[in-house]
């Protein structure tokens, strides 16, 4: 999603500037063209040489800005070059300048000379962030259609304060940059509420043993990210998922469950609010017929385990969904993936289904990439070749949008 893309990064004067090193390094390694410009104060925290080394290109400072060393004004060249512009950390000082259209350095002049989407990652002390003047400037800046935001989060700050103002983590920033490059800043899901299920359910037969599957929940996380980046309100009902993955979607409502029965109840609770329901979870088909309340000794383990069917959540939701709602299923398959996916789509009365192979390299459970064939009930098919799961998530939303 970033290969060959032109990403301009403005670094503000705050201790969180060190986090931007990881952002630059990640993007450059992924094949993006990265240019970095530093304010005077940011150089007190990270040097231009550091960013030049990480980006494989000289970093820009106000020293270059005020010297006639370029054929055209530097801020014009950079503003026209950029496909997306990140400002991180966004300090209270730079925030105030941007909110009022002031331009007294390379960074602020370049913002005014550009037309691409701008991603802001604020970072400051909690009391500073909560000041009425700062919040007024923030709200004014966020009213600009070009402006997109990531964070701030809450946690332990550099001043030892615990509270809001912590800059978003590099993984979260990079994910939103990827989305902006894909959508070019579109917020076409604004006003929609999207309900997503994710992860692999666990069906216990005693407190420590269960029937499960290898689902990591990464596809569900990517779907939640992409929807939020495009302006939607998102609720994620998830089976056990690694906490680091969940930390990548701090603004998403998260409902934790374990079993298919718990997921069934949670989806029924939240479905009335949703415009689109996406069943990305790997839900168990069967569960133990009997559950022990205590751990079974090895000698007491049954030679055979009686099973019963778990709730069919997608089928249940299809019976109660409203005309304006769209219900999307997933079909993880081996071998020929289209016929069983179409059968599932028709049997469960879905609006569309995502058929993805789990027996192909770099696809399916636990992988960073995926591939799929998107199918609707009218016979429309879209093939999505191998790509990262965030890109597949955006392709899925494009497909749903086209359903009408």
For residues 378 and 112, which has the higher predicted lDDT (pLDDT)? 112
Domain that holds residue 263: 193-401
* CATH code: domain of residue 216: 3.40.50.10300
Q: Indicate if the pLDDT at residue 135 is higher than 80.
A: yes
Report strand pairing: 369-376 vs 147-149. unpaired
Q: Is 1 a member of any domain?
A: no
Are residue 206 and residue 155 in the same domain, yes or no? no
Report H helices in 83-131: 92-99, 106-112, 126-129
Task: Among 152, 183, 214, give the residue marking a domain's end.
Answer: 183
Phi, psi of 324 (to 5 degrees): -80, -10
Q: Is 188 a member of any domain?
A: no
Are residue 207 and residue 345 in the same domain, yes or no? yes
Active site residue 21: no
**In the chain, how many domains are there?**
2
**Is 353 in contact with 375 (CB distance < 8 Å)?**
yes
Q: What is the pLDDT of residue 238?
A: 98
Q: Is 218 a member of any domain?
A: yes
Q: Is 71 a member of any domain?
A: yes
- Structure tokens that stand for 132 in this block: 């009425």
Mean pLDDT value across residues 70-92: 93
Are residue 115 and residue 202 in the same domain, yes or no? no
Are residue 152 and residue 239 in the same domain, yes or no? no
Q: Is 60 a member of any domain?
A: yes
Q: Is 295 a member of any domain?
A: yes
Q: Indicate if the pLDDT at residue 155 is higher than 90.
A: no
- At 34-45, the pLDDT tens digits run 999 999 999 999
Are residue 115 and residue 144 in the same domain, yes or no? yes
Q: Is 140 exposed, middle or buried (0-12, 13-18, 19+ CB in 10 A)?
A: middle
**Is 370 in contact with 392 (CB distance < 8 Å)?**
yes
**348 in a labelled binding site:** yes
Quote the pTM value: 0.92
Q: What is the pLDDT of residue 264?
A: 98
Dihedral in degrees, nearest 10, Cα atoms 280, 378, 374, 327? -20
- At 272-284, the pLDDT tens digits run 999 999 999 999 9
Q: Indicate if the pLDDT at residue 70 is higher than 70.
A: no
Q: Is the peptide bond before 89 cis (omega within 30 degrees of 0)?
A: yes
Are residue 315 and residue 233 in the same domain, yes or no? yes
Task: Among 183, 204, 234, give the residue marking a domain's end.
Answer: 183
Dihedral over Cα of 230, 234, 236, 241: its sign: positive
CA–CA dist 51, 104 (Å, integer): 22
Q: What is the pLDDT of residue 10?
A: 98
Q: Residue 157: pLDDT band by 50, 70, 90 thresholds?
A: confident
Q: Indicate if the pLDDT at residue 69 is higher than 70.
A: no
Q: What rounded mean pLDDT belongs to the chain?
A: 94
What is the side-by-side order of every strand in the sheet holding 276-279? 253-256, 233-238, 193-198, 276-279, 326-333, 352-357, 369-376, 381-388
**Is 126 in contact with 161 (CB distance < 8 Å)?**
yes
Are residue 215 and residue 147 in the same domain, yes or no? no
**Is 83 in contact with 181 (CB distance < 8 Å)?**
yes
**330 in a labelled binding site:** yes
Are residue 253 and residue 318 in the same domain, yes or no? yes
Task: Among 183, 218, 249, give the residue marking a domain's end.
Answer: 183
Q: Indicate if the pLDDT at residue 201 is higher than 70.
A: yes
How big is the CA angle at 168 (ends 229 and 82), to the nearest 5 degrees?
60
Are residue 309 and residue 173 in the same domain, yes or no? no
Mean pLDDT value across residues 73-86: 95
Q: Say which residues have a Cβ less than 8 Å from residue 177's Cβ, sequence separation at least 6.
A: 2, 7, 23, 27, 84, 86, 119
Are residue 79 and residue 137 in the same domain, yes or no? yes
Q: Between the CA of residue 367 and those of 88, 92, 221, 274, what are the distances in Å?
A: 30, 40, 13, 28
Q: Is 117 a member of any domain?
A: yes
CA–CA dist 398, 392 (Å, integer): 10
For residues 285 and 70, which has the higher predicted lDDT (pLDDT)? 285
Q: Which residues pair with 278 in a beta bridge?
A: 196, 328
Are residue 127 and residue 275 in the same domain, yes or no? no
Polymer length in residues for the chain? 404
* CATH code: domain of residue 178: 3.40.50.1950
- At 212-269, the pLDDT tens digits run 999 999 999 999 999 999 999 999 999 999 999 999 999 899 999 999 999 999 999 9
Mean pLDDT value across residues 161-169: 87
Q: Is 309 a member of any domain?
A: yes
Are residue 237 and residue 165 in the same domain, yes or no? no
Q: Which residues pair with 287 in a beta bridge?
A: 308
Q: Which of 21, 142, 159, 387 is catalytic?
A: 159
**295 in a labelled binding site:** yes
């Amino acid at each position: 999603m970033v290969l060959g893309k032109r990403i301009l990064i403005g670094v503000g004067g705050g201790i969180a500037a060190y986090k931007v090193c990881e952002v630059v390094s990640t993007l450059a390694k992924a094949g993006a063209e990265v240019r970095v410009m530093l304010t005077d104060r940011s150089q007190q925290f990270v040097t231009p040489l550091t960013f030049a080394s990480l980006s494989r290109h000289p970093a820009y400072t106000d020293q270059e800005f005020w010297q006639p060393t370029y054929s055209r004004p530097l801020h014009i060249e950079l503003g026209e070059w950029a496909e997306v512009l990140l400002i991180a950390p966004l300090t209270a000082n730079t925030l105030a300048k941007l909110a009022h259209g002031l331009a007294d350095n390379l960074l602020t002049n370049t913002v005014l000379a550009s037309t691409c989407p701008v991603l802001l990652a604020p970072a400051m002390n909690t009391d500073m962030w909560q000041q009425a003047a700062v919040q007024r400037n923030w709200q004014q800046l966020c009213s600009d259609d070009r402006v997109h935001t990531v964070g701030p989060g809450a946690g332990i700050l550099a001043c030892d304060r615990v509270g809001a103002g912590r800059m978003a983590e590099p993984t979260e920033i990079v994910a939103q940059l990827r989305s902006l490059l894909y959508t070019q800043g579109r917020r076409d899901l604004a006003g929609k509420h999207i309900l997503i299920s994710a992860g692999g359910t666990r069906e216990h037969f005693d407190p420590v043993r269960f029937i499960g599957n290898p689902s990591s929940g990464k596809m569900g996380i990517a779907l939640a990210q992409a929807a939020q980046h495009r302006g939607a309100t998102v609720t994620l009902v998830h089976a056990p998922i690694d906490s680091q993955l969940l930390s990548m979607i701090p603004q998403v409502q998260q409902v934790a469950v374990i079993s298919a029965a718990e997921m069934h109840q949670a989806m029924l609770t939240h479905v009335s609010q949703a415009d689109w329901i996406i069943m990305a979870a790997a839900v168990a088909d069967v569960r133990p017929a009997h559950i022990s309340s205590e751990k079974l000794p090895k000698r007491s383990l049954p030679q055979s385990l009686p099973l019963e069917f778990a709730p069919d959540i997608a089928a249940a939701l299809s019976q109660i969904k409203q005309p304006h709602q769209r219900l999307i299923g997933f079909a993880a398959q081996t071998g020929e993936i289209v016929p069983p996916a179409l059968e599932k789509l028709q049997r469960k009365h879905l609006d569309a289904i995502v058929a993805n192979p789990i027996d192909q390299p770099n696809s399916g459970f636990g992988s960073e990439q995926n591939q799929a064939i998107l199918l609707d009930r009218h016979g429309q098919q879209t093939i999505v070749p191998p790509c990262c799961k965030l890109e597949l998530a955006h392709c899925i939303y494009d497909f749903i949008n086209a359903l009408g």
